[in-house]
Chain A
Amino acid sequence: MGSIKDRVAIVGMGCTRFGENWYKNSSDMIIEAANEAFQDAGVTKDDIEAAWVGTLWSGDSGQTLAEPLKLPYMPITRVENMCATASDAFRNASYAVAAGIYDRVLVVGFEKLKDSGLSGLPETQVYGTNRLQTQTAPGHFALLATSYFAKYGLSPEEGKRMLGHISVKSHHNGSLNPKAHFQREVTLEQVINAPLVAWPLGLFDCCGVSDGAAAAIITRAELAKQFRPDPVYVKALQICVGQRSGFIRSDYDWTQIRETYEAGRRAYQEAGIKVPREEISMAEVHDCFSITEAVTMEDLQFSVRGGVREDIESGFFDIDGGLPVQPSGGLKCFGHPIGASGLRMLYEMYKQLQGKAEKRQLKNPKLGLTHNLGGFPAGPTISVVIVGR
């Protein structure tokens, strides 16, 4: 197996404001994100040779990108891999660039969820026997909390405090981000006492449903300086797809996610990283729910098994801590337009590495990691992407 390290560079990115974009449809958001990326890279759509577009529910076929941007007779692939959709679109585009087939490639991720008028995400419904238990996302991710608390001896109060700190931290970062949906701080009491969605997860433990789009323009590493003096280089691209076997095997215990560990391990190997906790400068992980972020810290080897509580409560993952997590505000403050999130995470890493993260700017970051989780903990699809200078 080969390595992608330092073979592909990001030379332009764009990102819309995420939120309840009542007055913007998918096309509006695609145009906005792509325009920002074109301007950032100093190119127009006529310079683009190929495109990859990621969306889960908001469009079919490459046409979903060609139509709004009027891309001319272009090879365009629509990618879907649940919540890892945007990251996987980026991954596939990167391989085409690294292979030398295309020199200038556009990647867009977008999702328009708020037209549905629903609370929460729809369950994935396939014609079948529908003989399923109640299958909402909060319900299934809450199982992680029930099991984690039980395994490590956390009382519900202790567990809620640990989780609460995560959301407080993310909201602080989001309050510094003009593109976030929610830009206000919250207190620990607010989070702990919020109405329950799926025990023990409360309203502030769950990311919202929102609309958004993000875009990237990529090229081969050796061509990058033709576009800008400060490109961002791809160090690792990993996807790990689960079998949903935790629903069937009795040895899955809902206190960790093996697919995350595997994707992370392979990404570190690809990027040449030996001690992730020390070498990764910042991370945007899939905080669909606060407990997901907690468990992911251990799965990505940022914390030892059973040790994330100490790291969270000591502020290690806060914006001024040793390894800032969700410097953008995360899914918690942006919501999760599924096809867009992976690229939005990359946008934050990109801006941080270029020193353009404004009020959220970290001091001299070197390596940024993004992580997505699609599906349910008992066998999900995971992406881990590492970028750096």
Chain B
Amino acid sequence: MAGIVSYGAYVPLHRLGRSEISKAWGGTGGEGEKAVASYDEDSITMAVAAARDCSKGFDRSKLDGVYFASTTSPYWEKLASATIASAMGLRSDILTADFSGSLRSGTNALKAALDAVTAGSADYILVVAGDARIGIPRSDKEMSFGDAAAAVIVAKEAAAVNVEGRHSVSGELFDFWRPDRDVFVRSAEDRFAREVGYNTVVTDTVRSALNKFRLKPTDIAKVCLYAPDARQLMSTSAAIGFDTKGGQVEESLHNSVGNCGASQSLLMLVCALEKARQGDRLLLVSYGDGCDVLSLVVQKELPKVKGRRGVKMHLETKRNLPSYQKYVLWRELVQVQPASRPPMIPVSPVALLRDRGWGLSLHGSKCKKCGTPQYPMQRVCVICGAQDQYVPYSFADLVGRLTTFSHDNLGAAIDPPSTVCAVDFEGGGRIMCDMTDRDPAQVATGMPVEMVFRKLHYSGGIHNYWWKCSPIRC
């Protein structure tokens, strides 16, 4: 039976307190906080982070596909899953597909992956959802939306977590939507959306699903239920017949991450998997233009993988944005005075072609003659001079040490200063890069750093992705 063999997640480091949002608009109150993608993050970079987390301890060369789910892909026409596959250094003879258009896209991708492995189109598929929806300023959507990504690897057999049953309904309804020409999500009147949309559809569909699966609410160890907010999570769960007080319902991430769109249901599933015990039956429910219900059984506990962070460790490591203005700057909601620097020359698609297999996955070369790792790839070894005697060498998962740095206020950046760094790696090799997710006052020579996949800039219609170093998250 097809199921899940691995999981991972990513929540951005930074949080914005809801009270900061209220304060900005002249109000008080506001509970909890939401996760805010940095100015150098988007749905693709977060998905890569979750995918890397998910594939720790898994041989990536075995992945036969990447299915990416999001309502905020950076491109209308360019396959994000192909970019993710490239950043992960996967084979090229794989299935790549993007699932978009709905908050249900995450489970749509999961269902399609299960179907693919069951049909024999693939042995292992990586399903990753990432969303960075923007709530229009001075709205409840701005308050509730958060950014995050989650990933699972789906396999045909010997899955630790089997997907035993599925039930889906499709629905045509304008409760939350975003047309092609809008940056902000729109919503209908909130009582309409809540009652006719979420509450009715989820309650009816889950009840039908349980009937179909011949299960009662009490058979479920943990319900992972998408919800627009914590209150609706509880009231709808209770209406279905789940025990909202005894921990049967997976905790809402509303006050720690926020409503993270297409990645929400998978993120909650990862939370459940982090704690699940053998024999637990999980119910995964997502909502948006219909409703998906999946019934999963934990056949054997997923092994603890060294270095996997999941959701918990990402929640525990955080830094609060100092103000609402910082959030506005990062999301570029306001036009600000740009740095007095020359306009960026657009990236060359031809140069990117030659870079395939190298820069996006942070592969340099290792000299076969003297063994020195080098980045970028060098045809002539920088140490021994040997020519064209190298093998590709991956730097992405190595730990580095900060050899030297400066905080540069001059360079064009959305949020200066930029921290320019020289990083020297365990095993050899050096990379010059910026540092992200850091408190400038805490940066010191000799500190350990890890490499993270981020967006450098946007110019000429191209989101230019590469890598930066960051303090080790956890």
Binding site for B on A (CB under 8 A): 116-120, 122-123, 125, 127-136, 138-140, 142-143, 145-147, 150, 195-201, 243, 245, 247-250, 253-254, 378
- Give me 11 A-to-B residue pairs in the complex whose CB atoms sit less than 8 angstroms apart, sorted by A's number: A123-B342, A125-B342, A125-B344, A127-B350, A130-B459, A132-B432, A139-B420, A197-B410, A247-B422, A250-B403, A250-B428
Pick the 4 closest A-B CB pairs, nearest first.
A142-B406, A139-B408, A134-B411, A134-B418
Given contacts A129-B464, A248-B382, 17 further A-B contacts (CB under 8 A): A119-B339, A119-B410, A123-B342, A129-B351, A129-B352, A130-B347, A133-B468, A134-B413, A135-B411, A136-B411, A142-B408, A146-B404, A198-B410, A199-B440, A250-B424, A250-B430, A378-B432
The 8 Å CB contact of B351, one of A128, A142, A250, is A128
The residue of chain B having its C-beta at the shortest distance from the C-beta of A143 within the complex is B404
Q: How far is the CB of A184 from chain B (nearest CB, A)?
A: 23
Please name all residues of chain A whose beta carbon is closer than 8 Å to the beta carbon of B408 when the two chains form the complex: 134, 136, 138-139, 142, 197-199
Please name all residues of chain A whose beta carbon is closer than 8 Å to the beta carbon of B371 when the two chains form the complex: none
Q: Does B466 belong to the interface (CB within 8 Å)?
A: yes
Please name all residues of chain B whose beta carbon is closer than 8 Å to the beta carbon of A118 when the two chains form the complex: 340-342
Q: Are A248 and B378 in contact (CB under 8 A)?
A: yes
The 8 Å CB contact of A254, one of B339, B352, B409, B422, is B422
Q: Does B345 belong to the interface (CB within 8 Å)?
A: yes
Q: How far is the CB of A58 from chain B (nearest CB, A)?
A: 15
Q: Does B31 belong to the interface (CB within 8 Å)?
A: no
0/1 interface trace, chain B 417-445, chain A, CB 8 Å (1 if under) = 11011101000111011100000100001
Please name all residues of chain B whose beta carbon is closer than 8 Å to the beta carbon of A249 when the two chains form the complex: 382-383, 430
Q: Does B348 belong to the interface (CB within 8 Å)?
A: yes
Please name all residues of chain A whose beta carbon is closer than 8 Å to the beta carbon of B348 when the two chains form the complex: 127-129
Binding site for A on B (CB under 8 A): 339-342, 344-345, 347-348, 350-352, 355, 359, 374-375, 378, 382-383, 403-413, 417-418, 420-422, 424, 428-430, 432-434, 440, 445, 456-457, 459, 464, 466, 468
Q: How far is the CB of A125 from chain B (nearest CB, A)?
A: 4
Looking at B352, B410, B412, B434, the one whose CB has the most chain A CB atoms below 10 A away is B410
Please name all residues of chain B whose beta carbon is closer than 8 Å to the beta carbon of A117 when the two chains form the complex: 340
Q: How far is the CB of B387 from chain A (nearest CB, A)?
A: 14
The residue of chain B having its C-beta at the shortest distance from the C-beta of A149 within the complex is B445
Q: A120-B341, A122-B341 are in contact. Are A130 and B464 (CB under 8 A)?
A: yes
- Cα A138 to Cα B344 with chains together (Å): 18
- Cα A142 to Cα B430 with chains together (Å): 18
The 8 Å CB contact of B341, one of A119, A140, A243, A253, is A119
Q: Are B409 and A143 in contact (CB under 8 A)?
A: no
- Cα A128 to Cα B358 with chains together (Å): 14
Please name all residues of chain B whose beta carbon is closer than 8 Å to the beta carbon of A116 when the two chains form the complex: 342
Q: How far is the CB of B443 from chain A (nearest CB, A)?
A: 9
Please name all residues of chain A whose beta carbon is closer than 8 Å to the beta carbon of B345 when the two chains form the complex: 125, 127, 130
Please name all residues of chain B whose beta carbon is closer than 8 Å to the beta carbon of A196 when the two chains form the complex: 407, 409
Q: Are A133 and B341 in contact (CB under 8 A)?
A: no
- Cα A120 to Cα B352 with chains together (Å): 28
Q: A119-B341, A125-B345, A134-B418 are in contact. Are A254 and B433 (CB under 8 A)?
A: no
Q: A117-B340, A142-B408, A198-B407 are in contact. Are A247 and B432 (CB under 8 A)?
A: yes
Q: Are B406 and A139 in contact (CB under 8 A)?
A: yes
Q: A133-B420, A133-B421, A146-B404 are in contact. Are A250 and B409 (CB under 8 A)?
A: no
- Cα A119 to Cα B348 with chains together (Å): 26
- Cα A122 to Cα B340 with chains together (Å): 10
Q: A119-B410, A143-B420, A253-B403 are in contact. Are A131 and B466 (CB under 8 A)?
A: yes
The residue of chain B having its C-beta at the shortest distance from the C-beta of A199 within the complex is B407
- Cα A125 to Cα B382 with chains together (Å): 23
- Cα A146 to Cα B422 with chains together (Å): 11
The 8 Å CB contact of A136, one of B375, B410, B456, B459, is B410
Q: How far is the CB of A177 from chain B (nearest CB, A)?
A: 27
Q: How far is the CB of B396 from chain A (nearest CB, A)?
A: 14
Q: Are A140 and B383 in contact (CB under 8 A)?
A: no
Q: How far is the CB of A56 from chain B (nearest CB, A)?
A: 14
Looking at B406, B411, B430, B456, the one whose CB has the most chain A CB atoms below 10 A away is B406
The residue of chain B having its C-beta at the shortest distance from the C-beta of A255 within the complex is B404
Q: How far is the CB of B11 from chain A (nearest CB, A)?
A: 25
Q: A118-B340, A119-B339, A147-B404 are in contact. Are A131 and B420 (CB under 8 A)?
A: no
Please name all residues of chain A whose beta carbon is closer than 8 Å to the beta carbon of B429 when the two chains form the complex: 248, 250
The residue of chain A having its C-beta at the shortest distance from the C-beta of B407 within the complex is A199
Please name all residues of chain B whose beta carbon is closer than 8 Å to the beta carbon of A250 when the two chains form the complex: 403, 424, 428-430
Q: Are A133 and B433 in contact (CB under 8 A)?
A: yes
Please name all residues of chain B whose beta carbon is closer than 8 Å to the beta carbon of A122 when the two chains form the complex: 341-342
The residue of chain B having its C-beta at the shortest distance from the C-beta of A137 within the complex is B410
Q: Are B420 and A134 in contact (CB under 8 A)?
A: yes
Q: A119-B341, A143-B404 are in contact. Are A245 and B382 (CB under 8 A)?
A: yes
Please name all residues of chain A whose beta carbon is closer than 8 Å to the beta carbon of B407 when the two chains form the complex: 196, 198-199
- Cα A65 to Cα B240 with chains together (Å): 85
Q: Are A150 and B445 in contact (CB under 8 A)?
A: yes
Please name all residues of chain B whose beta carbon is closer than 8 Å to the beta carbon of A146 when the two chains form the complex: 404-406, 445
Looking at A120, A142, A198, A200, the one whose CB has the most chain B CB atoms below 10 A away is A198
Q: How far is the CB of A377 from chain B (nearest CB, A)?
A: 10
- Cα A243 to Cα B382 with chains together (Å): 9
